[in-house]
Amino acid sequence: RAKQAGRNRCHFFRRDMNEQAVRRLEMEAALREALDRQESGAGDDGAGEAPFELHYQPQVRLKPNCLYRVEALIRWTHPRWGAVSPAEFVPLAEECGLIDRLDSWVLETAVAQLGRWRAAGVPVPGLAVNVSAVRFARGDLPDQVRSVLAANGIPANDLTLEITERLMMSEEAGAHDALDALHALGVTLSIDDFGTGYSSLSYLKRFPVGELKIDRSFVKELDIDAANRPLVRAIIQIGEALGLTVVAEGVEREAQHLMLEAEGCAIGQGYRFARPMPAAALADWLAGEGKHWTECPDEDCISI
Ligand code: C2E
Ligand code: MG
Ligand code: MG
Ligand code: MG
């Protein structure tokens, strides 16, 4: 009987694996096709629906209150599956060798958008873009960043690249050179999801990091589970000690906002302030509901 049960389990397990593998293969093919269409100009001049779109979420300075940057977040709408989460397709793109193309498209599109906002007088002080550790391994990132900034007249200071701790642990010399080259350009390097990756903090002194993003998991229950507060406080203190800007992600409620402010966290991002939104909606938001974030009372605030 045990043998029988074991066989059954194995059978179900294999079928489940199979479904997963099929979904993966389908998604890989769909991603590849979507990238081909995007790169050949889908969405431009009525050339069909674009498969990818960028949404932009405000990051705000908590004291004084003003807009700091906007983070570009990729969105993919599949004709049959609808919206696919980046938490699902970004890791897949990393595994199947498509992330270089995806991240390159995001960088070019987001920086060009910042240029268009500025040309139209929309007060967006800066832009943050997520870049996969895999993208860093290919040596041409600093060159691409330099040329896209120049092409759109954007100062390097206005660009932040959000990277994960995984990159910092990489032994790849090319990735280290890229970090140094980007820093030399004047681009800010930010550690995304800080505190969830690796326990070694030595990379913070070895690499030219300028910013830490406290992971959403610590902020999530900040006002509910007392154990989170000392962790958040400690991260803010690490930032202070090393002269790094600290950004809290996933701020949803006023209570979290007030605690972060009381702990001296400089920047907040989350539904409490604004959701990620398409470029046109962001411009509307800045002119309407979010207008107060563009009116900084502090003359020393260089953000706008
Ligand atoms: P991330 O960079 O840590 O981005 C923050 C995520 O939290 C985003 O999810 C955002 O929509 C979500 N978020 C923001 N505020 C709140 C809040 O108040 N509450 C909650 N519950 N969530 C909030 P999203 O857009 O689904 O992206 C997931 C992840 O996918 C990102 O995490 C990032 O790691 C990756 N990603 C997104 N766009 C790109 C991209 O262009 N390139 C690369 N390489 N990765 C990307
Ligand atoms: Mg990010
Ligand atoms: Mg993050
Ligand atoms: Mg995160």
Total Cβ atoms within 10 A of residue 109: 19
Say whether the ipTM exceeds 0.90: yes
Residues 6+ apart with CB under 8 A from 169: 197, 198, 200, 203
Nearest alpha-carbon partner for 163 in 240, 107, 85, 226: 107
**pLDDT tens sequence across 247-301:** 999 999 999 999 999 999 999 999 999 999 999 999 999 999 999 999 988 877 7
Mean pLDDT on 155-168 = 92
Q: Residue 3 — pLDDT band, cuts 50, 70, 90?
A: very low
Say whether pTM exceeds 0.95: no
Taking residue 278's Cβ as centre, other Cβ atoms within 10 Å add up to: 13
**For 90-100, how does the pLDDT look when each residue is reduced to its tens digit (9 = 90+)?**
999 999 999 99
Interval between CA 278 and ligand 4 midpoint (Å): 20
Q: Please, which residues have CB less than 5 A from ligand 3, an ion?
A: 192-193, 213, 249
Closest ligand by atom to 76 CA = 1
Residues lining ligand 1, Cβ inside 6 A: 57, 73-74, 85-87, 90, 103, 106, 130-132, 162, 192-193, 216, 249-252, 269-271, 276
The 10s digit of each residue's pLDDT in 66-113 is: 999 999 999 999 999 999 999 999 999 999 999 999 999 999 999 999
With contact defined as beta carbons under 8 Å apart, do 192 and 162 qualify? yes
Could you tell me which residues come within 8 angstroms of residue 302 by beta carbon, excluding any fewer than 6 positions away? none
- Encode pLDDT of 36-60 as tens digits: 999 888 877 666 788 999 999 999 9
The secondary structure of residue 277, as a DSSP letter, is E
The tokens of 232 are what? Answer: 């958040």
Residue 32: both structure tokens together: 């590849």
Task: Give the CB-side neighbour count of residue 47, counting CA atoms within 13 A.
Answer: 11
User: Does residue 280 contact residue 117 with C-beta atoms inside 8 Å?
Assistant: no
User: What's the gap in Å between 73 CA and the centre of ligand 1?
Assistant: 6
Number of H helices, E strands in the chain: 12, 10
